[in-house]
Amino acid sequence: MMRGFREIADRVYVLRYPVLDVNVTLVTAAGAALVVDTLSTAEQAGELADAIRVITRDPLIIVNTHHHFDHCFGNATLAAPEAPIWAHEEAARELREHGETLQRHWYEQWLPRDPGLAAGLAEVTVRVPDRLVRTSATVDLAGRTVSLHHLGRGHTAGDLVVDVPDAGVVLAGDLVEQGAPPSYGDDAYPLEWPGTVAALLRLVGPDGVVVPGHGAPVDRAFVQAQHEQLGELDRLIREGHADGAGPPEVAARSPFGAEASLVAVRRGYAELSGRA
């Protein structure tokens, strides 16, 4: 059963959805509300809408932190026809140009592991974000400022970070993970990820709260420690490539473990070889 939202700072609420332990964040103001990420399926987004209505019935502005299904496939269900949906321009391009292909890929990927989730993914109407961010943008939430930043590539080419400065909260999307290693897929940028998280850290105050894409909210020290691990893997990839070491050998030395890091090493090698 889905948990409800929990207030982690002034009018900033986080819901940890049990499927994939993914976070949705709700920011409210007098007469408006902003939702960051919309879950995976129409059914999940319907549950999310019910949870939002417990807190507010104000019109919603939606932000997608990136284009992966668990963060944006609920768009069509949650957003009213006139509601703006913000995302980085690269995330929107992926959904606009490759949405059907990605939807089929994720259906096939999840079918053996979770047939119910796979069926939900197959039935989704993919709604592409229509408010595009290149480097930064400001959303006026009924007088409350929320800042959107693309700080560089990392988990994907279109990662968007959301800053709620008056609450001291930064929403990191999957640039930061809690409870599991960072997720390196075929569209990740392991050699750029450390620099992007370094830029994210500059938004986080000493007592700030960071909401990761998955898992519990964390503090600045947690993000700093993960940044160091990301940098260590970056160093291992560069040294391994220079020494001619095989990707499995390098992945075995990763701070995140061999299984979680093999794709990262292969992606890094391809970039260093000019094939990415």
Cβ-contact 89, 68 below 8 angstroms:
no
* The pLDDT of residue 87 is above 80: yes
* CATH number of 44's domain: 3.60.15.30
User: DSSP readout, 153-207?
Assistant: -SSSTT--EEEEGGGTEEEEEEEEESSS-----TT--TTTHHHHHHHHHTT--TT
Total structural domains in the chain?
A: 1
Token pair, residue 188, equals 């990740």
What number of other Cβ atoms are within 10 A of residue 243's Cβ? Answer: 9
Condensed to tens digits (0 to 9), the pLDDT of residues 147-175 reads: 999 999 999 999 999 999 999 999 999 99
Condensed to tens digits (0 to 9), the pLDDT of residues 91-129 reads: 999 999 999 999 999 999 999 999 999 999 999 999 999
| Measured distance CA(237)–CA(264) in Å, rounded | 8
Beta bridge partners of 173: 212
Residue 1: per-residue pLDDT? 53
Condensed to tens digits (0 to 9), the pLDDT of residues 132-143 reads: 999 999 999 999
- Establish if 100 belongs to a structural domain: yes
- Establish if 215 belongs to a structural domain: no
- Establish if 240 belongs to a structural domain: no
Q: In the chain, which ranges are continuous DSSP H helix?
A: 42-55, 69-72, 75-78, 89-110, 115-123, 193-201, 220-243, 247-251, 258-272
Per the prediction, the chain carries an average pLDDT of 97
What is the percent of the chain with per-residue pLDDT over 90, rounded to a whole number?
A: 97
Residue 109: per-residue pLDDT? 97
- Establish if 228 belongs to a structural domain: no
Token pair, residue 160, equals 């968007």
- Establish if 133 belongs to a structural domain: yes
SS3 264: helix
pLDDT grade, residue 275 (50/70/90)? confident
Dihedral sign computed on CA atoms, order 207, 212, 218, 221: negative
User: 58-62, 79-83, 119-123, 197-201 — which is least confidently predicted?
Assistant: 79-83
Residue 274: per-residue pLDDT? 84
Look at strands 60-63 and 32-36 and give their pairing.
parallel
Q: Which amino acid is at 85?
A: I
pLDDT grade, residue 213 (50/70/90)? very high
Residue 49: per-residue pLDDT? 97
State which residues form the domain around 51. 1-150
- Establish if 23 belongs to a structural domain: yes
pLDDT grade, residue 276 (50/70/90)? low
Residue 72: per-residue pLDDT? 98
Condensed to tens digits (0 to 9), the pLDDT of residues 100-109 reads: 999 999 999 9
Residue 265: per-residue pLDDT? 98
- Establish if 37 belongs to a structural domain: yes
- Establish if 95 belongs to a structural domain: yes
